[in-house]
Amino acid sequence: MAYILSMIADPADTVIDKSFKKRLSGLFPKSEIRELAAGTAYDLTVASDDAVHIARQAFSDVPIDINILPPVNRRKKLLVADMDSTIIEQECIDELAEYAGKRAEISAITERAMRGELDFEAALKERVAMLKGVPESALAETFDRQISLTPGAITLVRTMNKLGAVTALVSGGFTFFTGRVAIATGFQTAQANELQTKDGALSGVVTEPILGRAAKREALQRNASDRGIPLDLTLAVGDGANDLSMLESAGLGVAYHAKPAVAEAAQARIDHGDLTALLYLQGVKKSEFTLN
């Protein structure tokens, strides 16, 4: 069986130069290099999935993402994405914690939960309780002042929309943010947890049931089933332990700048590139991108 060896660099650091290609050809002399984006993304057809280990070892000195993929059904019909630290660069709850004067405490719990050291649902309840009394206006202030889209997010979502895919934002965060991020990027649907408020302030309660690890997997499966999309034509991306079941269920699960345990378990991992790497993993050329 043939495989696709995918090599992707950060678009801001185009390290795939003539020297790199020469070394690559030396490793796989019978494979033709196919360019997806000059200096940034290339494919090779290889005979064995061992090629990924050979290439990663050979290029351990180069900041590049190397993954092995089956050659069939590369282009996906459904994208399901995590939001915090994936589509956006922050964890919204950590940013809100500033208004409660509890940034350090809440961030520490977030980090442990994302590494899989804590039960996600229990950890979310604990952190939300610590936000009790924060003015409701802090939500908008946080979004406007502190939240930024991850490089490549808009291009990823809008290109997949143009190519006819369904795009869904599924977050363990909060609906206030997912709704706005979905509009900014072009996601067709968004799903998250609901923060409760009382008298103009956060009540310290999140509406149940909580959207956690199992609910993310179920959201992927439901979106696929409702639209008649086979699971092997689905793509999921996330960074934390609560994304693992979703990543494992998808046709292609991608760990994006993820916690170590998540990166090790996922089918593909992106440690250096931006979110356009998810398009290159599907064999989409830069010339096909929707850039705005």
**Residues noted as catalytic:** 82, 84
Q: Which two tokens stand for residue 145?
A: 């002042």
3-state secondary structure the chain: CCEEEEEEECCCCCCCCHHHHHHHHHHCCCCCEEEEECCCEEEEEECCCCHHHHHHHHCCCCCEEEEEECCCCCCCCEEEECHHHHHECCCHHHHHHHHHCCHHHHHHHHHHHHCCCCCHHHHHHHHHHCCCCCECHHHHHHHHHHCCECCCHHHHHHHHHHCCCEEEEEEEEEHHHHHHHHHHHCCCEEEEECEEEECCEEEEEECCCCCCHHHHHHHHHHHHHHCCCCHHHEEEEECCHHHHHHHHHCCEEEEECCCHHHHHHCCEEECCCCCCHHHHHCCCCHHHCCCC
User: Rounded distance, CA 67 to CA 7, Å?
Assistant: 7
User: Rounded distance, CA 282 to CA 6, Å?
Assistant: 9
Per the CB < 8 A criterion, the answer to whether 120 and 182 are in contact is: no
